Structure 1
Amino acid sequence: MADPWAVREAFLIQRAYCDAHSAPITGRIAGALADSLTRESRTGARVLDWPGDPTADALPLRLIGGLHALDQAGAAPDLSRVFAGEVTGMDAVALILADALIVHDAALLPWLDGPPQTNEPGRSAVLMTGLLELARRFGPKLELLEIGSSAGLNLLIDRYRFDLGGTNAGPADAPVLIRPEWRGAPPPQVPIDIVSVRGCDLRPLDTSDAETRRRLMAYIWADNPERHARMEAAFAMLRSRPVDLAAADAADWVEARLDEPQARGVTRVLMHSVVWQYLPVEGQRRIRAAMEAAGACAIAERPLAWVRMEPDRGLARQELWLRHWPGGGEDRMRAIAHAHGLWVETL
């Protein structure tokens, strides 16, 4: 069981992370929760007595998501003033949050049951940066396999339009344009042909369900209203044409997909974003072993690659790493990025 002080420290770490990503409202809430958590509610007691690693389990974001849901439902007017940025004094914010945990205890408690589902189309821009490098190196045809797909928003990567520092990719008439602030050299302007996109999640989310959509919207930080509009457009794309998303254990699914025949002239790519920390250690080991074994058999006509956007929480940034076979399978960091893809900086 985590020490209560370690739990409070996790909320302070989350505040620093939010502040580094231009999210002062969410950061202020995280900081105030670090001071105001008590055992007066079942929610507060469960948070303070958290059985695992509160940072690795994204405990602060679980609770903040529940509070944001109350705000969005109009169930707590004072809390809505906090999420609107109208109440900024830490003492006042802490009092409002402490009251919300008691008054809305029953509604908040279930939000602690699972990790936050921070589905974000903007992360596809970071992944696309790596995919364009693979297309330059091995040719345009890519077969994409994503683990931890959640609601499948990254599985729309072949249907989004991207402007990556002036490098364009995707359909010109796409309903969603993703244009992050660009820093550094743009990725190569090369043809890219995503021939298939498949994904898995242990518990995929069905965005045809209104409650699921509301839950996903609650995990979007109040500081980024533009993300709300983009998410709504992505939901409409899923309604128009669903994605290939399986309910499966990540390691089982990766091993099975790597055993399938691979078309000649197509690069097979495993990709994921902000997923690795949630996988069990044994699952991580199996995926690494499966990729390295398949990589050892890769040839120029059937390349294999691994593109991943995962956090370095110590540096408060996301990092884009790329491995490919043939070519030694060496891990190389290609870019750093905002947690939600608001900016990308190539290295």
Structure 2
Amino acid sequence: MADKELKYETVDPQAKGFEAVQRAFANQVAYCRDNGAPVTATICQALYDLLETERGGAVMRRVRKWAGPPLADALPLRLAGGLHALHLADEDPSLSAIYLEQRVSNPAELVADAIERHEAFLMPWLDGPPQTNEAGRSWAYAAAMLWLADKGLSAKFALNEIGSSAGINLMLRRYFFDLGGVTAGPKGAQMRLVPEWRGSPPPDTEYEIVAAQGCDVKPVDLTDPAQALRLKAYIWPEFTERFARMDAAIAAADRMPPEITRETADVFVERVLAQPAEPGVTRVIMHSVVWQYVPEAQREKITEAIEKAGAAATEESPIAWISLEANRDTHRHELTVRYWAGNEGGGKEWQRLGVAHPHGTWVDWEG
């Protein structure tokens, strides 16, 4: 089937079965194509084309008979990550022709050959969700803190991130931001984030990060070259600036690694919110491109824990919830915030502050 025929369709993310597998790959093709990732779209298109064939050995047999919900499990990105890792390690020159954007007459055949040659290497990539830690998304946390401080919340923030992966966004106190002309962070930082800013800038105020910790069910150690390579494999190859940001994050972790615990998101949130609040500090629960991977039962517990703590929050000890998650209808990421500071009715509704490119290339600010 030609690439242009694959369209994104909103479906139940918990759907299972072969048709759900096909839809997951078709949606991934459309999503990549619409977000300027033609190479990754070609890889996912090739995988989609293989679904109704017998090619791909045990790896593709497992994909076709996927037991869980393929969309919620991000199944296409699991396998795409493994294939990209083969290219990054220079293990398969034929496959690399696609990544180098050379003329290829039959991408599906090249991908099938690579899968069959590297079955033992690729099979473990199906065992867990992709790790898509991206420093470019930390603009959202910085902008949200500026906005919250402007709303009267304490400008001293204690960050608690779920799904931290390698903890790249937990290190944002060491990053420099230029957000539509409003700057934050150390000016001499190696990590410099300057998204294309659309609309008015965020409030021109200041914030201070007094603590930062996170959790992940499978934390990534950036100081381990093998784990760092795995994280790079999930970066879409079209976005070369993301590799530079990853190298800067690795350098930052080498100097002082982020604080991450191996813990489920609900247990982490319940634990940190059960601890006494520090007066004069805004406690933040935050996440980016994580919520879709958190099981529904855990999401309910997290929401309940935050709302319970929010009801007890005061002007002296406020609580904020910062979310940067994908809108699957628009293919854009939305920054939304809830906060509680002892005000009547506080935190009842999400407030959308902006929409952005998935990796923070541009931001359309609404706050």
User: What TM-score results when the alignment is normalised by the length of structure 1?
Assistant: 0.96
Distance 2:365 2:29 in 1: 26
Q: CA deviation at 1:49?
A: 0.6
Equivalent position of 1:337 in the other structure: 356
On the 8 A contact 2:159/2:209 being kept in 1, the answer is yes
Q: Which amino acid aligns with 1:10?
A: A
User: What TM-score results when the alignment is normalised by the length of structure 2?
Assistant: 0.91
Q: For residues 178-198 of structure 1, what are the alpha-carbon distances to aligned partners after superposition, in whole Å with 9 as ceiling and x for unaligned?
A: 111212221111011111111
2:88 aligned with 1:72, yes or no? Answer: yes
Equivalent position of 1:258 in the other structure: 273
Distance 2:78 2:107 in 1: 18
From 20, 31, 35, the equivalent of 1:6 is 20
2:338 aligned with 1:323, yes or no? Answer: yes
Equivalent position of 1:293 in the other structure: 308
Q: Which amino acid aligns with 1:86?
A: Q
Between the two proteins, the alignment pairs up a number of residues equal to 345
Q: Residues 190-229 of structure 1: matches in 2 within 5 Å?
A: 190-229=205-244
Equivalent position of 2:156 in the other structure: 141
Q: For residues 144-184 of structure 1, what are the alpha-carbon distances to aligned partners after superposition, in whole Å with 9 as ceiling and x for unaligned?
A: 11111011101011111111111111111111101112122
Secondary structure, counterpart of 1:320 in structure 2: strand
Cα distance change of structure 1 residues 15 and 338 upon mapping to structure 2, 3 Å threshold: same
Secondary structure, counterpart of 1:314 in structure 2: coil
Secondary structure, counterpart of 1:54 in structure 2: coil
2:107 aligned with 1:93, yes or no? Answer: yes
Q: CA deviation at 1:88?
A: 5.5
On the 8 A contact 1:39/1:48 being kept in 2, the answer is no
The root-mean-square deviation of aligned C-alpha atoms, in Å, is 1.4
Distance 2:89 2:43 in 1: 18
From 13, 35, 42, the equivalent of 2:49 is 35
On the 8 A contact 1:163/1:178 being kept in 2, the answer is yes
2:41 aligned with 1:22, yes or no? Answer: no
Identity rate, percent: 47
User: Which runs of 5 or more structure 2 residues have no equivalent in the other structure?
Assistant: 1-14
Q: CA deviation at 1:224?
A: 0.6
Distance 1:84 1:232 in 2: 21
From 232, 242, 253, the equivalent of 2:257 is 242
2:245 aligned with 1:230, yes or no? Answer: yes
Q: For residues 283-323 of structure 1, what are the alpha-carbon distances to aligned partners after superposition, in whole Å with 9 as ceiling and x for unaligned?
A: 11111001111111111111110001111112211111100
When structure 1 is superposed on structure 2, of 222-231 and 33-42 the one drifting more is 33-42
Equivalent position of 1:62 in the other structure: 78
Q: Residues 100-139 of structure 1: matches in 2 within 5 Å?
A: 100-137=114-151, 138-139=153-154
From 178, 185, 202, the equivalent of 2:200 is 185
Equivalent position of 1:164 in the other structure: 179
Q: Which amino acid aligns with 1:21?
A: N
Q: For residues 54-76 of structure 1, what are the alpha-carbon distances to aligned partners after superposition, in whole Å with 9 as ceiling and x for unaligned?
A: 11111000000000011111111
On the 8 A contact 1:87/1:93 being kept in 2, the answer is no
Q: CA deviation at 1:256?
A: 1.2
Equivalent position of 2:10 in the other structure: none
When structure 1 is superposed on structure 2, of 319-328 and 60-69 the one drifting more is 319-328
Q: Which amino acid aligns with 2:187?
A: A
On the 8 A contact 1:126/1:337 being kept in 2, the answer is no
Q: For residues 237-261 of structure 1, what are the alpha-carbon distances to aligned partners after superposition, in whole Å with 9 as ceiling and x for unaligned?
A: 0010111111112111111111112
Q: CA deviation at 1:6?
A: 2.2
Equivalent position of 1:82 in the other structure: 98
Q: CA deviation at 1:29?
A: 1.4
Q: Which structure 1 residue ranges, 4+ long, deviate > 6 Å from structure 2?
A: none
User: Which runs of 5 or more structure 1 residues have no equivalent in the other structure?
Assistant: none
Secondary structure, counterpart of 1:157 in structure 2: helix
